[in-house]
Amino acid sequence: MKQEIQDRFDLNVRRVKNLVNIYRTQLSGPGRGRRGHQETDVLRAAIVLLHAATEDVLRSLAYWKLPAANADVLELIPLVGGAATKFNLGTLSAHRGKTIDAVLKESVDASLERSNYNNAAEVNRILTSIGINTAPLAPYMALLETTMKRRHQIVHRADANPNAGRGNHRVSSIGPGMLDNWIANVENFVAATLAQV
């Protein structure tokens, strides 16, 4: 499973790097200076895909490890088919004939279908719940948080510059160097995370 997660992440990061390369080779144009949003939107797409690659690793690890988590972690996950984390035997009767392990896995899977990770606190929470020591990951968290905030700004605000007006562009500035740093940080974060499983 670990290799499968790593392989999918590697593929997704290659896709991100390809978008950055498309910008560098086809859209950046000659000379210095800021490029317009139509040219740099490919970099915004790269940030969204980088975030998706990160979430895929986190969610895949959770699919794998959460069904075997401690009772205090599993108490926070609703029984499949409902939203309540506490239920009676009548509710459980819908799962007759299934093993406890099967019900746990189905419940975890259903919960993860709705999951997302939008900040460092949420990342730390899911990793801690599956037994990952987050202390070695601390060096990557600040930049990961910055990357996730920018993805949120792109997805939910079309990357609008909150300081738009005289002398400022309507869309926030972005460049390939920024992406290079964020990609390297995510690669290091994922390597340090997968080293623990």
**pLDDT, tens digit (0-9, with 9 covering 90-100), for 140-160:** 999 999 999 999 999 998 888
pLDDT at 166 over 60: no
Cα separation, 64 vs 75, whole angstroms:
17
> d(Cα 78, Cα 80) in Å, to the nearest integer?
6
Q: Which pLDDT belongs to residue 8?
A: 97
Which residues have C-beta within 8 Å of that of residue 71, sequence separation ≥ 6? none
Q: Is the pLDDT of residue 168 over 60?
A: no
Select from 157, 180, 158, 175 the least CA-distant residue to 40.
175
Domain ranges (residues) in the chain: 2-69+115-194
What mean pLDDT do residues 50-71 have? 92
pLDDT value of position 36: 65
- Helix extents (H) in the chain: 2-22, 37-65, 71-74, 89-92, 100-113, 120-129, 138-157, 176-194
Residue 81 and residue 110: Cα distance in Å, rounded?
A: 8
One-letter identity of residue 15: R
Q: 3-class DSSP state for residue 168?
A: strand
Alpha helix positions (H), 31-78 = 37-65, 71-74
pTM here is: 0.85
